[in-house]
Structure 1
Amino acid sequence: MTEQAPGGFDVTRPNVARMYDYYLGGKNHFPPDRAAAERIIELSHGYVRDAVRENRAFLGRAVRYLAAECGIRRFLDLGAGLPTQGNVHEIALAEAPDSLVTYVDNDAVVAAHGRALLEGDPRVRFLQGDMRRPRDVLAAAEEAGFTLDGPAALLLVSCLHFVSDEEDPAGLVAAYRDLLPAGSHLVVSHVCSDLLPDTMAQAGAVYGNANAPFEARPGAQIARFFDGFELVEPGLVPLNEWRPGDDPVPPRGGFLPVLGGVGRRP
Protein backbone atom coordinates (compact mmCIF):
# COMPACT_ATOMS: atom_id res chain seq x y z
CA MET A 1 0.00 0.00 0.00
CA THR A 2 1.35 3.44 -0.91
CA GLU A 3 1.48 6.40 1.45
CA GLN A 4 -1.25 8.15 -0.62
CA ALA A 5 -4.72 6.70 -0.25
CA PRO A 6 -7.17 6.87 -3.17
CA GLY A 7 -9.91 9.47 -3.28
CA GLY A 8 -8.35 11.87 -0.80
CA PHE A 9 -9.25 9.79 2.27
CA ASP A 10 -7.63 10.84 5.52
CA VAL A 11 -4.75 8.50 6.34
CA THR A 12 -3.31 10.72 9.07
CA ARG A 13 -5.48 9.11 11.76
CA PRO A 14 -4.84 5.57 13.05
CA ASN A 15 -7.22 2.99 11.64
CA VAL A 16 -8.04 -0.11 13.67
CA ALA A 17 -8.08 -2.41 10.62
CA ARG A 18 -4.67 -1.25 9.47
CA MET A 19 -3.31 -1.48 13.05
CA TYR A 20 -4.52 -5.08 13.12
CA ASP A 21 -2.74 -5.73 9.84
CA TYR A 22 0.44 -4.30 11.36
CA TYR A 23 0.17 -6.62 14.38
CA LEU A 24 -0.06 -9.54 11.97
CA GLY A 25 3.04 -8.44 10.07
CA GLY A 26 1.16 -7.24 6.98
CA LYS A 27 2.02 -4.30 4.72
CA ASN A 28 -1.28 -2.42 4.50
CA HIS A 29 -0.75 0.45 6.94
CA PHE A 30 0.48 4.03 7.24
CA PRO A 31 2.83 5.76 9.73
CA PRO A 32 0.02 6.82 12.14
CA ASP A 33 -1.24 3.23 12.23
CA ARG A 34 2.24 1.94 12.98
CA ALA A 35 2.85 4.50 15.72
CA ALA A 36 -0.42 3.70 17.51
CA ALA A 37 0.11 -0.04 17.11
CA GLU A 38 3.62 0.22 18.55
CA ARG A 39 2.19 1.96 21.62
CA ILE A 40 -0.27 -0.92 22.12
CA ILE A 41 2.58 -3.40 21.66
CA GLU A 42 4.52 -1.53 24.34
CA LEU A 43 1.58 -1.50 26.76
CA SER A 44 0.99 -5.22 26.27
CA HIS A 45 4.70 -6.13 26.44
CA GLY A 46 4.33 -7.58 22.96
CA TYR A 47 1.50 -9.93 23.85
CA VAL A 48 -0.97 -8.16 21.56
CA ARG A 49 0.73 -9.84 18.63
CA ASP A 50 0.19 -13.23 20.26
CA ALA A 51 -3.44 -12.30 20.83
CA VAL A 52 -4.13 -11.33 17.22
CA ARG A 53 -2.46 -14.50 15.96
CA GLU A 54 -4.61 -16.54 18.34
CA ASN A 55 -7.62 -14.57 17.11
CA ARG A 56 -6.91 -15.55 13.51
CA ALA A 57 -6.37 -19.15 14.54
CA PHE A 58 -9.66 -19.18 16.47
CA LEU A 59 -11.46 -17.69 13.47
CA GLY A 60 -9.99 -20.39 11.23
CA ARG A 61 -11.05 -23.20 13.55
CA ALA A 62 -14.55 -21.76 13.93
CA VAL A 63 -15.07 -21.35 10.17
CA ARG A 64 -13.70 -24.82 9.51
CA TYR A 65 -16.03 -26.28 12.13
CA LEU A 66 -19.06 -24.48 10.68
CA ALA A 67 -18.31 -25.46 7.09
CA ALA A 68 -17.20 -29.03 7.69
CA GLU A 69 -19.37 -30.12 10.63
CA CYS A 70 -22.43 -27.86 10.55
CA GLY A 71 -23.02 -27.56 6.81
CA ILE A 72 -22.91 -23.76 6.83
CA ARG A 73 -22.46 -22.30 3.35
CA ARG A 74 -23.11 -18.58 3.98
CA PHE A 75 -20.55 -16.54 5.93
CA LEU A 76 -21.10 -12.88 6.79
CA ASP A 77 -17.97 -11.31 8.31
CA LEU A 78 -18.75 -7.93 9.91
CA GLY A 79 -16.11 -5.39 10.83
CA ALA A 80 -13.90 -7.60 8.73
CA GLY A 81 -10.94 -5.30 8.24
CA LEU A 82 -8.53 -6.18 5.49
CA PRO A 83 -8.76 -9.77 4.16
CA THR A 84 -5.29 -10.56 5.45
CA GLN A 85 -3.66 -13.80 6.63
CA GLY A 86 -6.03 -16.69 7.34
CA ASN A 87 -8.92 -15.35 5.29
CA VAL A 88 -12.46 -16.57 5.97
CA HIS A 89 -13.10 -17.27 2.30
CA GLU A 90 -9.94 -19.33 1.90
CA ILE A 91 -10.88 -21.57 4.81
CA ALA A 92 -14.57 -21.86 3.95
CA LEU A 93 -14.00 -22.52 0.25
CA ALA A 94 -11.34 -25.13 1.00
CA GLU A 95 -13.90 -27.04 3.10
CA ALA A 96 -16.92 -26.33 0.89
CA PRO A 97 -16.34 -24.84 -2.59
CA ASP A 98 -20.01 -23.85 -2.85
CA SER A 99 -19.72 -21.42 0.08
CA LEU A 100 -20.47 -17.72 -0.25
CA VAL A 101 -18.50 -15.23 1.84
CA THR A 102 -19.36 -11.56 2.26
CA TYR A 103 -17.04 -9.20 4.12
CA VAL A 104 -18.36 -5.89 5.47
CA ASP A 105 -16.38 -2.93 6.80
CA ASN A 106 -17.39 0.70 7.26
CA ASP A 107 -14.03 2.16 6.24
CA ALA A 108 -14.04 3.26 2.59
CA VAL A 109 -10.29 2.74 2.09
CA VAL A 110 -10.40 -0.72 3.67
CA ALA A 111 -13.43 -1.70 1.57
CA ALA A 112 -11.86 -0.46 -1.68
CA HIS A 113 -8.60 -2.26 -0.95
CA GLY A 114 -10.48 -5.40 0.08
CA ARG A 115 -12.44 -5.42 -3.20
CA ALA A 116 -9.19 -5.05 -5.14
CA LEU A 117 -7.61 -7.98 -3.29
CA LEU A 118 -10.64 -10.23 -3.80
CA GLU A 119 -11.51 -9.34 -7.38
CA GLY A 120 -12.21 -12.30 -9.63
CA ASP A 121 -14.05 -14.81 -7.42
CA PRO A 122 -17.86 -14.47 -7.63
CA ARG A 123 -18.23 -16.41 -4.38
CA VAL A 124 -16.58 -13.62 -2.38
CA ARG A 125 -17.76 -10.03 -1.88
CA PHE A 126 -16.45 -7.06 0.09
CA LEU A 127 -19.03 -4.40 0.95
CA GLN A 128 -18.73 -1.03 2.61
CA GLY A 129 -21.36 -0.83 5.34
CA ASP A 130 -21.96 0.06 8.96
CA MET A 131 -22.42 -3.06 11.09
CA ARG A 132 -24.47 -0.94 13.51
CA ARG A 133 -27.30 -0.95 10.92
CA PRO A 134 -28.31 -4.63 10.68
CA ARG A 135 -31.18 -4.28 8.21
CA ASP A 136 -29.12 -2.10 5.87
CA VAL A 137 -26.18 -4.51 6.02
CA LEU A 138 -28.29 -7.58 5.31
CA ALA A 139 -30.17 -5.80 2.51
CA ALA A 140 -26.89 -4.80 0.85
CA ALA A 141 -25.49 -8.31 1.30
CA GLU A 142 -28.61 -9.85 -0.24
CA GLU A 143 -28.40 -7.45 -3.18
CA ALA A 144 -24.82 -8.67 -3.69
CA GLY A 145 -26.01 -12.29 -3.79
CA PHE A 146 -25.79 -13.28 -0.11
CA THR A 147 -29.17 -14.93 0.45
CA LEU A 148 -30.63 -15.97 3.80
CA ASP A 149 -32.57 -18.93 2.42
CA GLY A 150 -30.82 -21.23 4.90
CA PRO A 151 -28.61 -21.16 8.00
CA ALA A 152 -25.76 -18.66 7.86
CA ALA A 153 -22.74 -17.76 9.98
CA LEU A 154 -22.48 -14.28 11.44
CA LEU A 155 -18.88 -13.47 12.30
CA LEU A 156 -18.26 -10.71 14.85
CA VAL A 157 -14.60 -11.43 15.42
CA SER A 158 -12.53 -8.82 17.22
CA CYS A 159 -14.96 -6.02 16.33
CA LEU A 160 -17.53 -5.61 19.12
CA HIS A 161 -14.92 -4.08 21.41
CA PHE A 162 -14.87 -1.24 18.88
CA VAL A 163 -18.60 -0.60 19.49
CA SER A 164 -19.16 1.67 22.48
CA ASP A 165 -21.54 0.87 25.35
CA GLU A 166 -23.65 3.85 24.26
CA GLU A 167 -24.25 2.07 20.94
CA ASP A 168 -25.63 -1.00 22.79
CA PRO A 169 -23.54 -3.84 21.30
CA ALA A 170 -25.73 -6.52 22.95
CA GLY A 171 -28.82 -5.00 21.36
CA LEU A 172 -27.00 -4.86 18.04
CA VAL A 173 -26.18 -8.58 18.16
CA ALA A 174 -29.78 -9.35 19.16
CA ALA A 175 -31.04 -7.42 16.12
CA TYR A 176 -28.92 -9.58 13.82
CA ARG A 177 -30.00 -12.71 15.67
CA ASP A 178 -33.65 -11.93 15.01
CA LEU A 179 -32.97 -11.53 11.29
CA LEU A 180 -31.09 -14.83 10.90
CA PRO A 181 -32.78 -18.14 10.06
CA ALA A 182 -32.94 -20.95 12.61
CA GLY A 183 -29.78 -23.04 12.58
CA SER A 184 -27.59 -20.00 11.95
CA HIS A 185 -24.44 -19.55 14.02
CA LEU A 186 -22.78 -16.61 15.75
CA VAL A 187 -19.00 -16.38 16.16
CA VAL A 188 -17.65 -13.78 18.61
CA SER A 189 -14.22 -12.92 19.93
CA HIS A 190 -13.81 -10.00 22.32
CA VAL A 191 -11.08 -8.55 24.54
CA CYS A 192 -11.84 -9.20 28.22
CA SER A 193 -11.01 -6.69 30.94
CA ASP A 194 -11.31 -8.98 33.97
CA LEU A 195 -7.60 -9.67 34.48
CA LEU A 196 -5.96 -6.47 33.18
CA PRO A 197 -8.32 -3.54 33.81
CA ASP A 198 -5.60 -0.86 34.03
CA THR A 199 -3.81 -1.98 30.87
CA MET A 200 -7.10 -2.17 29.00
CA ALA A 201 -7.97 1.37 30.08
CA GLN A 202 -4.61 2.63 28.79
CA ALA A 203 -5.18 0.81 25.50
CA GLY A 204 -8.57 2.49 25.26
CA ALA A 205 -6.88 5.87 25.53
CA VAL A 206 -4.58 5.03 22.60
CA TYR A 207 -7.51 3.88 20.46
CA GLY A 208 -9.31 7.08 21.43
CA ASN A 209 -7.21 8.79 18.75
CA ALA A 210 -8.09 6.16 16.14
CA ASN A 211 -11.15 5.83 13.92
CA ALA A 212 -13.06 3.74 16.48
CA PRO A 213 -13.17 3.54 20.29
CA PHE A 214 -11.92 0.49 22.18
CA GLU A 215 -13.81 -0.99 25.11
CA ALA A 216 -12.59 -4.20 26.69
CA ARG A 217 -15.45 -5.72 28.68
CA PRO A 218 -15.95 -8.11 31.60
CA GLY A 219 -16.59 -11.73 30.67
CA ALA A 220 -20.16 -11.59 32.02
CA GLN A 221 -20.95 -8.74 29.63
CA ILE A 222 -19.39 -10.58 26.67
CA ALA A 223 -21.52 -13.63 27.48
CA ARG A 224 -24.66 -11.53 26.94
CA PHE A 225 -23.90 -11.41 23.22
CA PHE A 226 -24.95 -15.08 23.08
CA ASP A 227 -28.41 -14.48 24.55
CA GLY A 228 -30.83 -16.46 22.38
CA PHE A 229 -28.08 -18.74 21.10
CA GLU A 230 -27.02 -22.19 22.30
CA LEU A 231 -23.31 -22.10 23.02
CA VAL A 232 -21.30 -24.80 21.26
CA GLU A 233 -18.82 -26.69 23.46
CA PRO A 234 -16.53 -25.65 25.08
CA GLY A 235 -18.54 -22.43 25.49
CA LEU A 236 -17.12 -18.93 25.91
CA VAL A 237 -13.45 -19.44 26.72
CA PRO A 238 -10.01 -17.89 26.09
CA LEU A 239 -9.37 -18.20 22.35
CA ASN A 240 -6.56 -20.72 22.72
CA GLU A 241 -8.94 -23.04 24.59
CA TRP A 242 -11.63 -23.16 21.89
CA ARG A 243 -11.16 -26.56 20.19
CA PRO A 244 -7.38 -26.13 20.01
CA GLY A 245 -6.54 -29.47 18.43
CA ASP A 246 -4.17 -32.15 19.61
CA ASP A 247 -1.09 -30.02 20.29
CA PRO A 248 -2.11 -26.66 21.77
CA VAL A 249 0.55 -24.07 22.58
CA PRO A 250 -0.07 -22.18 25.86
CA PRO A 251 0.13 -18.37 25.63
CA ARG A 252 3.44 -16.84 26.67
CA GLY A 253 1.91 -14.81 29.47
CA GLY A 254 0.11 -17.82 30.95
CA PHE A 255 -3.32 -16.51 29.97
CA LEU A 256 -5.04 -14.85 27.03
CA PRO A 257 -7.34 -11.88 27.81
CA VAL A 258 -9.52 -12.48 24.75
CA LEU A 259 -12.63 -14.66 24.90
CA GLY A 260 -14.25 -16.46 22.02
CA GLY A 261 -17.23 -18.67 21.41
CA VAL A 262 -19.68 -20.02 18.86
CA GLY A 263 -23.44 -20.15 19.36
CA ARG A 264 -26.29 -21.68 17.37
CA ARG A 265 -29.69 -20.08 16.95
CA PRO A 266 -32.34 -22.75 17.73
Structure 2
Amino acid sequence: MTKQAPGGFDVTQPNVARMYDYYLGGKNHFPADRAAAERIIELSDGHVREAVLENRAFLGRAVRYLAAECGIRQFLDLGAGLPTQGNVHEIAMKEAPDALVTYVDNDAVVAAHARALLEGDPRVRFLLGDLRSPEEILAAASESGLSFERPVALLMVACLHFVPDEEDPEGIVAAYRELLPSGSVLVISHACSDPVPEAMAAAGGVYGRANAPFEARPAARIAGFFDGFDMVEPGAVPLNEWRPELDALPLRGGFLPVLGGVGRRP
Protein backbone atom coordinates (compact mmCIF):
# COMPACT_ATOMS: atom_id res chain seq x y z
CA MET A 1 0.00 0.00 0.00
CA THR A 2 1.33 3.41 -0.97
CA LYS A 3 1.79 5.77 1.93
CA GLN A 4 1.56 9.50 1.35
CA ALA A 5 2.91 12.40 3.34
CA PRO A 6 0.63 15.37 4.09
CA GLY A 7 1.85 17.07 0.89
CA GLY A 8 0.48 14.19 -1.17
CA PHE A 9 3.77 12.54 -2.25
CA ASP A 10 4.74 8.89 -1.87
CA VAL A 11 7.14 8.28 1.01
CA THR A 12 7.54 4.53 0.42
CA GLN A 13 9.61 4.89 -2.75
CA PRO A 14 13.16 6.24 -2.35
CA ASN A 15 13.49 9.75 -3.70
CA VAL A 16 16.81 10.91 -5.15
CA ALA A 17 16.50 14.45 -3.78
CA ARG A 18 15.75 13.19 -0.27
CA MET A 19 18.59 10.64 -0.51
CA TYR A 20 20.96 13.46 -1.45
CA ASP A 21 19.67 15.45 1.51
CA TYR A 22 20.44 12.46 3.74
CA TYR A 23 24.00 12.22 2.43
CA LEU A 24 24.46 15.91 3.27
CA GLY A 25 23.17 15.45 6.81
CA GLY A 26 19.82 17.13 6.21
CA LYS A 27 16.47 16.31 7.79
CA ASN A 28 14.11 16.04 4.81
CA HIS A 29 13.93 12.27 4.30
CA PHE A 30 11.89 9.19 5.19
CA PRO A 31 12.78 5.57 6.11
CA ALA A 32 12.74 4.39 2.48
CA ASP A 33 15.14 7.17 1.50
CA ARG A 34 17.46 6.41 4.41
CA ALA A 35 17.52 2.69 3.66
CA ALA A 36 18.42 3.24 0.00
CA ALA A 37 20.99 5.91 0.89
CA GLU A 38 22.61 3.62 3.44
CA ARG A 39 22.94 0.94 0.76
CA ILE A 40 24.73 3.45 -1.50
CA ILE A 41 26.96 4.45 1.41
CA GLU A 42 27.81 0.78 1.93
CA LEU A 43 28.54 0.19 -1.77
CA SER A 44 30.81 3.24 -1.88
CA ASP A 45 32.61 2.44 1.38
CA GLY A 46 31.25 5.74 2.68
CA HIS A 47 32.80 7.83 -0.08
CA VAL A 48 29.43 9.01 -1.44
CA ARG A 49 29.21 11.48 1.45
CA GLU A 50 32.56 12.97 0.42
CA ALA A 51 31.38 13.07 -3.20
CA VAL A 52 28.21 15.03 -2.45
CA LEU A 53 30.10 17.49 -0.26
CA GLU A 54 32.64 18.00 -3.04
CA ASN A 55 29.74 18.46 -5.46
CA ARG A 56 28.31 21.28 -3.35
CA ALA A 57 31.75 22.84 -3.04
CA PHE A 58 32.26 22.64 -6.84
CA LEU A 59 28.89 24.28 -7.41
CA GLY A 60 29.83 27.08 -5.02
CA ARG A 61 33.20 27.70 -6.69
CA ALA A 62 31.66 27.67 -10.16
CA VAL A 63 28.90 30.13 -9.25
CA ARG A 64 31.35 32.46 -7.49
CA TYR A 65 33.66 32.35 -10.51
CA LEU A 66 30.83 33.14 -12.92
CA ALA A 67 29.39 35.97 -10.83
CA ALA A 68 32.63 37.56 -9.64
CA GLU A 69 35.00 37.00 -12.56
CA CYS A 70 32.77 36.57 -15.62
CA GLY A 71 30.02 39.09 -14.92
CA ILE A 72 27.22 36.54 -15.20
CA ARG A 73 24.03 37.84 -13.61
CA GLN A 74 21.48 35.19 -14.65
CA PHE A 75 21.48 31.62 -13.36
CA LEU A 76 19.18 28.78 -14.42
CA ASP A 77 19.61 25.79 -12.10
CA LEU A 78 18.13 22.59 -13.56
CA GLY A 79 17.38 19.62 -11.32
CA ALA A 80 17.96 21.93 -8.38
CA GLY A 81 17.09 19.44 -5.64
CA LEU A 82 16.12 20.28 -2.09
CA PRO A 83 17.26 23.63 -0.66
CA THR A 84 20.32 23.26 1.54
CA GLN A 85 23.24 25.35 2.75
CA GLY A 86 25.02 27.35 0.06
CA ASN A 87 22.21 27.60 -2.46
CA VAL A 88 22.94 29.15 -5.85
CA HIS A 89 21.07 32.38 -5.12
CA GLU A 90 22.90 32.85 -1.82
CA ILE A 91 26.31 32.41 -3.45
CA ALA A 92 25.54 34.47 -6.56
CA MET A 93 23.94 37.36 -4.69
CA LYS A 94 26.82 37.60 -2.25
CA GLU A 95 29.02 38.39 -5.25
CA ALA A 96 26.41 40.28 -7.26
CA PRO A 97 23.27 41.52 -5.45
CA ASP A 98 21.60 42.15 -8.82
CA ALA A 99 21.82 38.49 -9.85
CA LEU A 100 18.65 36.65 -10.90
CA VAL A 101 18.24 32.94 -10.18
CA THR A 102 15.60 30.54 -11.45
CA TYR A 103 15.48 27.01 -10.04
CA VAL A 104 13.84 24.16 -11.94
CA ASP A 105 12.89 20.69 -10.72
CA ASN A 106 10.21 18.16 -11.64
CA ASP A 107 9.86 16.85 -8.08
CA ALA A 108 6.83 17.92 -6.05
CA VAL A 109 8.81 17.41 -2.83
CA VAL A 110 11.47 19.84 -4.03
CA ALA A 111 8.80 22.28 -5.19
CA ALA A 112 7.12 22.43 -1.80
CA HIS A 113 10.37 23.07 0.08
CA ALA A 114 11.80 25.48 -2.48
CA ARG A 115 8.74 27.69 -2.70
CA ALA A 116 8.56 27.98 1.07
CA LEU A 117 12.22 28.98 1.23
CA LEU A 118 12.24 31.38 -1.72
CA GLU A 119 8.97 33.18 -1.15
CA GLY A 120 9.29 36.95 -1.00
CA ASP A 121 12.52 37.54 -2.94
CA PRO A 122 11.75 38.90 -6.43
CA ARG A 123 15.23 37.96 -7.64
CA VAL A 124 14.59 34.23 -7.14
CA ARG A 125 12.02 32.01 -8.84
CA PHE A 126 11.18 28.32 -8.75
CA LEU A 127 9.64 26.47 -11.71
CA LEU A 128 8.12 22.99 -11.66
CA GLY A 129 9.40 21.53 -14.90
CA ASP A 130 11.39 18.74 -16.54
CA LEU A 131 14.89 19.49 -17.81
CA ARG A 132 14.26 17.05 -20.67
CA SER A 133 12.06 19.70 -22.32
CA PRO A 134 14.52 22.50 -23.17
CA GLU A 135 12.17 24.76 -25.16
CA GLU A 136 9.48 24.61 -22.49
CA ILE A 137 11.98 25.26 -19.70
CA LEU A 138 13.54 28.28 -21.38
CA ALA A 139 10.14 29.70 -22.30
CA ALA A 140 8.99 29.40 -18.68
CA ALA A 141 12.27 30.86 -17.42
CA SER A 142 11.83 33.81 -19.75
CA GLU A 143 8.36 34.40 -18.35
CA SER A 144 9.80 34.24 -14.84
CA GLY A 145 12.17 37.11 -15.56
CA LEU A 146 15.33 35.76 -17.19
CA SER A 147 16.35 37.47 -20.42
CA PHE A 148 17.82 35.33 -23.15
CA GLU A 149 19.12 38.44 -24.86
CA ARG A 150 21.97 38.32 -22.31
CA PRO A 151 24.26 35.50 -21.16
CA VAL A 152 22.80 32.87 -18.82
CA ALA A 153 24.58 30.33 -16.65
CA LEU A 154 22.91 26.96 -17.19
CA LEU A 155 23.60 24.68 -14.24
CA MET A 156 23.20 20.92 -14.73
CA VAL A 157 24.88 19.81 -11.53
CA ALA A 158 24.46 16.16 -10.50
CA CYS A 159 21.38 15.72 -12.67
CA LEU A 160 22.39 14.26 -16.05
CA HIS A 161 23.33 10.93 -14.47
CA PHE A 162 19.61 10.61 -13.71
CA VAL A 163 18.78 10.88 -17.44
CA PRO A 164 19.11 7.41 -19.04
CA ASP A 165 20.69 6.86 -22.45
CA GLU A 166 17.35 6.13 -24.10
CA GLU A 167 16.28 9.71 -23.34
CA ASP A 168 19.34 11.06 -25.22
CA PRO A 169 21.10 13.24 -22.64
CA GLU A 170 23.59 14.50 -25.25
CA GLY A 171 20.72 15.63 -27.44
CA ILE A 172 19.09 17.42 -24.52
CA VAL A 173 22.28 19.35 -23.72
CA ALA A 174 22.77 20.19 -27.41
CA ALA A 175 19.23 21.57 -27.58
CA TYR A 176 19.96 23.90 -24.67
CA ARG A 177 23.21 24.95 -26.33
CA GLU A 178 21.40 26.03 -29.48
CA LEU A 179 18.83 28.01 -27.50
CA LEU A 180 21.30 29.87 -25.26
CA PRO A 181 22.73 33.25 -26.31
CA SER A 182 26.42 33.75 -27.02
CA GLY A 183 28.46 34.21 -23.86
CA SER A 184 26.28 31.84 -21.85
CA VAL A 185 27.95 29.13 -19.80
CA LEU A 186 27.20 25.49 -19.03
CA VAL A 187 28.12 23.94 -15.68
CA ILE A 188 27.96 20.16 -15.38
CA SER A 189 28.91 17.61 -12.74
CA HIS A 190 28.36 13.93 -13.45
CA ALA A 191 29.21 10.58 -11.83
CA CYS A 192 32.05 8.86 -13.70
CA SER A 193 32.10 5.09 -14.13
CA ASP A 194 35.77 4.72 -15.10
CA PRO A 195 37.40 4.34 -11.64
CA VAL A 196 34.81 2.02 -10.05
CA PRO A 197 32.57 0.49 -12.75
CA GLU A 198 31.22 -2.36 -10.61
CA ALA A 199 30.25 -0.11 -7.69
CA MET A 200 28.60 2.35 -10.06
CA ALA A 201 26.61 -0.45 -11.71
CA ALA A 202 25.49 -1.67 -8.29
CA ALA A 203 24.46 1.87 -7.36
CA GLY A 204 22.38 1.96 -10.53
CA GLY A 205 20.53 -1.09 -9.25
CA VAL A 206 19.66 0.69 -5.99
CA TYR A 207 18.51 3.84 -7.75
CA GLY A 208 16.48 1.71 -10.15
CA ARG A 209 14.02 1.28 -7.29
CA ALA A 210 13.92 5.02 -6.60
CA ASN A 211 11.99 7.74 -8.43
CA ALA A 212 14.76 8.21 -11.03
CA PRO A 213 17.32 5.85 -12.58
CA PHE A 214 21.06 6.43 -12.14
CA GLU A 215 23.64 5.96 -14.86
CA ALA A 216 27.29 6.82 -14.31
CA ARG A 217 29.18 7.38 -17.57
CA PRO A 218 32.78 7.20 -18.82
CA ALA A 219 34.86 10.37 -18.74
CA ALA A 220 34.80 10.63 -22.54
CA ARG A 221 30.99 10.70 -22.56
CA ILE A 222 30.93 13.37 -19.85
CA ALA A 223 33.42 15.53 -21.76
CA GLY A 224 31.18 15.14 -24.83
CA PHE A 225 28.37 17.04 -23.13
CA PHE A 226 30.50 20.15 -23.63
CA ASP A 227 30.68 19.77 -27.43
CA GLY A 228 30.17 23.22 -28.96
CA PHE A 229 31.35 25.01 -25.81
CA ASP A 230 34.78 26.48 -25.12
CA MET A 231 36.04 24.78 -21.98
CA VAL A 232 37.16 26.89 -19.05
CA GLU A 233 40.44 25.66 -17.59
CA PRO A 234 41.12 23.06 -16.25
CA GLY A 235 38.41 21.34 -18.32
CA ALA A 236 36.23 18.44 -17.19
CA VAL A 237 38.10 17.05 -14.19
CA PRO A 238 37.38 15.42 -10.81
CA LEU A 239 35.41 17.97 -8.83
CA ASN A 240 38.12 18.59 -6.26
CA GLU A 241 40.53 19.55 -9.07
CA TRP A 242 38.32 22.27 -10.57
CA ARG A 243 39.85 25.56 -9.32
CA PRO A 244 40.28 24.29 -5.75
CA GLU A 245 40.60 26.60 -2.78
CA LEU A 246 44.15 27.09 -1.55
CA ASP A 247 43.31 25.47 1.79
CA ALA A 248 41.46 22.48 0.29
CA LEU A 249 42.02 19.25 2.19
CA PRO A 250 43.10 16.05 0.39
CA LEU A 251 40.42 13.53 -0.42
CA ARG A 252 39.82 10.86 2.21
CA GLY A 253 39.21 8.28 -0.49
CA GLY A 254 42.17 9.26 -2.67
CA PHE A 255 40.06 9.77 -5.81
CA LEU A 256 36.69 11.20 -6.73
CA PRO A 257 34.56 9.41 -9.36
CA VAL A 258 32.60 12.56 -10.21
CA LEU A 259 33.70 14.98 -12.93
CA GLY A 260 32.81 18.63 -13.31
CA GLY A 261 33.47 21.41 -15.73
CA VAL A 262 32.41 24.77 -17.12
CA GLY A 263 32.04 25.62 -20.81
CA ARG A 264 31.31 28.94 -22.52
CA ARG A 265 29.08 29.21 -25.60
CA PRO A 266 30.93 31.12 -28.35
* TM-score for the superposition, normalised by structure 1: 0.97
Whether the 8 Å contact between 2:115 and 2:126 is mirrored in structure 1 is yes
Write the mapping of 1:45-124 to structure 2, written as runs, cut at 5 A. Answer: 45-124=45-124
Between the aligned partners of 1:256 and 1:109, the Cα distance in structure 2 is: 29
Whether the 8 Å contact between 1:74 and 1:99 is mirrored in structure 2 is yes
Between the aligned partners of 1:174 and 1:85, the Cα distance in structure 2 is: 31
Residue 72 of structure 1, CA deviation: 0.4
Unmatched runs of 5 consecutive residues or more in structure 1: none
Residue 250 of structure 1, CA deviation: 1.6
Write the mapping of 1:1-266 to structure 2, written as runs, cut at 5 A. Answer: 5-266=5-266
Deviation sequence 1:224-243 (CA, Å, 0-9, x none): 10000000001110000000
Aligned residues: 264
Between the aligned partners of 1:14 and 1:146, the Cα distance in structure 2 is: 33
Between the aligned partners of 2:246 and 2:84, the Cα distance in structure 1 is: 26
Whether the 8 Å contact between 2:83 and 2:113 is mirrored in structure 1 is no
- Shifted more, 228-237 versus 105-114: the winner is 105-114
Whether the 8 Å contact between 1:79 and 1:105 is mirrored in structure 2 is yes
Unmatched runs of 5 consecutive residues or more in structure 2: none
Kindly provide the amino acid, as one letter, of the partner of residue 51 in structure 1: A
Between the aligned partners of 2:191 and 2:24, the Cα distance in structure 1 is: 17
Between the aligned partners of 1:40 and 1:175, the Cα distance in structure 2 is: 32
Between the aligned partners of 2:83 and 2:201, the Cα distance in structure 1 is: 28
Between the aligned partners of 2:103 and 2:47, the Cα distance in structure 1 is: 27
Kindly provide the amino acid, as one letter, of the partner of residue 196 in structure 2: L
Deviation sequence 1:162-189 (CA, Å, 0-9, x none): 0000011011000001000000000000
Please state whether the residue corresponding to 1:127 is helix, strand or coil.
strand
Please state whether the residue corresponding to 2:225 is helix, strand or coil.
helix
- Cα RMSD over matched residues? 1.1
Residue 143 of structure 1, CA deviation: 1.3
Deviation sequence 1:112-141 (CA, Å, 0-9, x none): 221111111111111110000001111111
Kindly provide the amino acid, as one letter, of the partner of residue 149 in structure 1: E
Deviation sequence 1:79-135 (CA, Å, 0-9, x none): 010121210000000000000001100011211221111111111111110000001
Please state whether the residue corresponding to 1:8 is helix, strand or coil.
coil
**Percent identity, aligned pairs only?**
80
Please state whether the residue corresponding to 2:104 is helix, strand or coil.
strand
